Structure 1
Amino acid sequence: MIDADLHQFYGVDTADGILKNRPYVWLVTRVSGLMAVEHSRLRLKLYPPKKPTAHRRK
């Protein structure tokens, strides 16, 4: 999920081992950025959109 978001929004291919060459802060910054994007997979998984509730009549 994060791999796909990193590729879509930052053009980062995690399969090539880039995370081994980057500091932890680099990854934290990218993940924080993904949380700020409303339609990122990560954000939608952690904070799914609320479904409208139907009002009940009595």
Structure 2
Amino acid sequence: MEADLLQCYGIDLTGGIMRRRTARWLRVKILGLLATDSRLLRAVAKPDPAPSAPVIPETGE
């Protein structure tokens, strides 16, 4: 999540910004990351079901 916050919002968490922000501020940022193609979204999203193999009918030969 730290890398996503930096990449998407330019927020560097190493400067102590979290001490000056509210829980709501962080929630809004996290929801924003979940609404875009982010590492966080890929980490928590359910994988797409694998496509099923086509069924080839037996010819009886």
TM bucket by the smaller chain? 0.7 to 0.9
CA displacement at 1:56 relative to structure 2: 4.3
Bigger Rg, structure 1 or 2: 2
Alignment of 1:8-47 (within 5 A): 8-37=7-36, 39-47=37-45
Which structure dedicates a bigger proportion of its chain to helix? 1
User: Which runs of 4 or more aligned residues in structure 1 lie more than 2 Å from their structure 2 counterparts after TM superposition?
Assistant: none
Give the share of equivalent positions with the same residue, in percent.
34
RMSD (CA atoms): 1.7
1:50 corresponds to 2:61: no
Measured against aligned partners, the alpha-carbon deviations of 1:14-53 in whole angstroms (never above 9, x if no partner) come to 011101100110000000000000x200000001542642
Question: Where does structure 1 lack aligned partners over 5 or more consecutive residues?
Answer: none
TM-score (norm 1): 0.83
